[in-house]
Structure 1
Amino acid sequence: MNRLSLQLNRNAVVWWMQSATGVTQTTQFMVMPFMALYMSSHTHAAPSVVGLAVGTISLTSTVLSFLGGSLADRFGRKWVMALAMLVSTLAMLQFAAASSVWSFFVVSVLTGLSRALFGPASQAMLTDLTPPEGRSRVFGMNYWMNNIGAAVGPIIGGMIGSEAPKLTFYLAAGISAVYMAVIAICFPESRRPSREARDEVSLRDAIQILRTDYALIVFIVAGILTSIGYSQFDTTLPQFMQTLFGTHTASHDYSYIFAATGFEVVVLQFLVNRFSQRLEIGSVLLVSQAIYAMSFFGIGLSHTFIAFLAWSVILTLGEVMAAPRLAQYISMLADERMRGAYFGANSLSNLGFFVGPFMGGVLLHQLGAFSVFGVVALFALCAGPMYRLSHRMYVHRAKADARDGEKTALRI
């Protein structure tokens, strides 16, 4: 059997990517949610240093995602995705050997590089293979599969990690290696540019186009404010719980909170997505930010496991509303020649996942948990109107482009 006969058709690639996302995310969530606690217990680093190490994942991803997206546009999606899985394999192997502060920073850089390569390329491939009317459903399914991993991964990681933590790292590395092989052998290239197409939009041209897309710029700024807030759920919340309950109880309780929110997405995703489809994207994002703000205030005032769980569930409802529509919106904004670059540029929103953990660590140490969650609640209240403004700018631009197209047609 030759290699070409092993390649999947377009529909099979979309569905295989969805199922593989569930498997790979399960292994990732077995490991990464516990990085802050694992690093703290193995190095006894200060909360701000732990936050900086975790945030370095997002900093690396943010800095390199535009380059990763541009590489996917110029040379195709497939091999960029395969390279990302190779880097992920190396990151998990390094995690198994990590025992010092610097080694955890190496893990963070490799993990961030893997995300910078894989995220824009995979989202561009899904957009390439899916007609516009089906993209909301496809991105919703992709988000749903991510959260199956979020629901199952922490429970498995908590059970295995307490007895044999390195086993989880080796398992995650093995899954990434298998995924890399499947991409390399079985995936077709969804967009294979000709030599002329590669030169059509240079990296400098792409940067210039993105700099003048003001709807995208406003959207990214709102995303930074949102990610600063949401990063507290991954870093400040478990450390806050650690100060209240102790390391062992905090690790146990946080794993169940994380899993519960993942199951919430699995149960509610399609119902909430069907309802939100009736609303314009700007309105959906405005409502989701209001839910974020309320939840952050509630978490900051909480002191029991039940309270943390309840407010986390409410917070996740806002995420369920917003997440599929965010990816759909970028696919609408993107120039067809630059889908990877647009998805990569959107990763600048992840700058908040670098700033947020460090900011949260400092505020938690100096002023307490309520100061952290009160500040990010205010950020959410600012981000909502900005998302809505971005969508209105896009709609205005689309109408103007349509009028220009009609005028051009009449002249012809």
Structure 2
Amino acid sequence: MLAALKHYPGTVRLLLLATFILTLARALTLPYLVVYLADNFQLSIGHIGLLIGGALIVASLLSLYGGHLVDTLHNHTLISASTLLFTLAFAAAIASRSALMFFLCLVLINLTLAVVDIAAKAGFCALLPVERRAEVFAIKYTLSNVGYAVGPLLGVAMLELDDHLPFVASALIGLGMCLAYWRLGDRGLQASLAEQPSAGFVQVALGLAGDRRLVCFTLGGVLSAVVFGQFTAYLSQYLVVTTSPSEAARLVGYLVTTNAVTVIALQYLIGRRISRQRLMPWLLAGMALFIAGLLGFALAGSVLAWCLAMLVFTLGEIIVIPAEYMFIDLIAPEHLRGVYYGAQNLSNLGAALGPVMVGFALTQWWPGAIFYLLVMSVILAGVFYWLGTRKQ
């Protein structure tokens, strides 16, 4: 992977660095977020879940307009402004004295991170030939997982020094990235074609709703994100019900480590081989691995069995996410890549829905039923992916 990075233009490397740095800054606060909200705002666990999940949902919906901005503004302006807002949102979060203010800060953090992510993907498409995009998407996803693996560990270490230090560090990292991109970023880079006539957001949104392939693929993405978007949350819910909180925490730690190591070790090797010409076979393979992993969870009776099931499950994740990127790259018009990637970002709605759906199922049925419910979600996602890859 490092060898491949040397052959990319400097602008591509800077876009990869920006997404990695902001992901790392966001991940610093993840271990402490629930505790911080409980201690500072005296919120119940239920209200904390609604606040965190609601912020993700609102940011995901707003990111559709963020994609429109990617298509209409220069990347340099948009990424510089987004990283500055990312910094200010963390600073405001520290100063927040109400849960509502903190919620708005969290929305802004998630939204600006999504906009930079969309701008980077659209920038890759503008800068690289088709045959090199699968590789850069795989590198980007690998780096994001490195950020999410390392960030929480650094955040926990910072908490030993001061409760607010992770938020302060995130703000400073965001500010550093903002200044670096303002100084080094390509001021002429724009995702869409300059000669393409611009359209208003409402007109663009109506056009997206009329694209059958995009609608089907977005629905498939939402349903698959139910399964992999926040798997740690629903596995924790299941394990707390079937074992004990301490045992659940211990086992989830092993599973998170297994997931992170697998992604970091294999994402680039597998993701770079996904081709536009055989997207559906790749997606079907990913769906099959998800199903095998979920059935493994349902049957697991030991730590080793759980970790092996997570390994299989993670292989599905490694395939599906870059394949989704490639499909959007395949169907998006050149002048609308940003808003198409913004539509893909709506899959976060599925990530927010997963723990809610599983929590309801755990109160109504026997615990193992959740895995068969999630298998049904994978199958439905596969159906929508198949419909989306069919030509009109």
Fold shared per TM-score above 0.5: yes
Cα distance in 1, alignment partners of residues 67 and 32 from structure 2:
29
Cα distance in 2, alignment partners of residues 299 and 174 from structure 1:
40
Q: Relative to structure 2, which stretch is displaced further, 329-338 or 201-210? A: 201-210
Q: CA deviation at 1:273?
A: 2.7
Name the CA shift for 1:121/1:186 in 2 (closer, same or farther; >3 Å): same
Cα distance in 2, alignment partners of residues 85 and 255 from structure 1:
31
TM-score, normalised relative to structure 1: 0.81
Matched, 1:341 2:339: yes
Deviations 1:3-55 (A, max 9, x none): xxxxxxx8101012223433332332232365456546776755543332232
Provide the residue aligned with 1:204 in structure 2. Answer: 202
Aligned letter for 2:313? Answer: L
Cα distance in 2, alignment partners of residues 339 and 354 from structure 1:
25
Cα distance in 2, alignment partners of residues 272 and 193 from structure 1:
29
Matched, 1:66 2:64: yes
SS in 2 for 1:200: coil
Name the CA shift for 1:109/1:128 in 2 (closer, same or farther; >3 Å): same
Among candidates 261, 264, 271, match of residue 262 of structure 2: 264
Which aligned pairs between 1:77-156 and structure 2 lie closer than 5 A? 77-96=75-94, 101-102=99-100, 104-156=102-154
RMSD of equivalent CA atoms: 3.2
Deviations 1:164-218 (A, max 9, x none): 4432222122111111112222111312879864x43332332232122111111
Cα distance in 1, alignment partners of residues 369 and 96 from structure 2:
32
SS in 1 for 2:189: coil
Aligned letter for 2:326? Answer: Q
Matched, 1:231 2:205: no
Cα distance in 1, alignment partners of residues 178 and 223 from structure 2:
33
Q: CA deviation at 1:302?
A: 4.9
Between Structure 1 and Structure 2, which shows a larger proportion of helix residues? Answer: 1
SS in 1 for 2:190: coil
Cα distance in 1, alignment partners of residues 260 and 126 from structure 2:
28
Deviations 1:210-238 (A, max 9, x none): 12211111101111111122234142233
Q: Does the Cα contact within 8 Å between 2:332 and 2:340 map onto a contact in 1?
A: yes
Which aligned pairs between 1:347-362 and structure 2 lie closer than 5 A? 347-362=345-360
Deviations 1:108-160 (A, max 9, x none): 32223223422322211121111111111111111111112123223333444
Which aligned pairs between 1:8-407 and structure 2 lie closer than 5 A? 11-32=9-30, 35-36=33-34, 39=37, 45=43, 47-96=45-94, 101-102=99-100, 104-161=102-159, 164-188=162-186, 189-191=188-190, 197=196, 199-242=197-240, 244-246=243-245, 254-277=252-275, 280-300=278-298, 302=300, 305-365=303-363, 367=365, 369-393=367-391
Q: CA deviation at 1:300?
A: 4.7
Deviations 1:258-304 (A, max 9, x none): 24312211111233235544971111112212222232343355576
Cα distance in 2, alignment partners of residues 221 and 139 from structure 1:
21
Aligned letter for 2:103? Answer: F
- In structure 2, stretches of 5+ residues that fail to align are 1-7
SS in 2 for 1:386: helix
SS in 2 for 1:201: coil
Name the CA shift for 1:292/1:222 in 2 (closer, same or farther; >3 Å): same
Q: Does the Cα contact within 8 Å between 1:61 and 1:347 map onto a contact in 2?
A: no
* Percent identity between the two aligned chains: 26
Name the CA shift for 1:365/1:263 in 2 (closer, same or farther; >3 Å): same
Deviations 1:324-382 (A, max 9, x none): 22112111111011111111122222221232233333334554643433322210122
Q: Does the Cα contact within 8 Å between 2:68 and 2:201 map onto a contact in 1?
A: yes
Q: Does the Cα contact within 8 Å between 2:90 and 2:105 map onto a contact in 1?
A: yes
Cα distance in 2, alignment partners of residues 375 and 240 from structure 1:
13
TM-score, normalised relative to structure 2: 0.85
SS in 1 for 2:61: helix
The number of residues matched between the two structures is 384
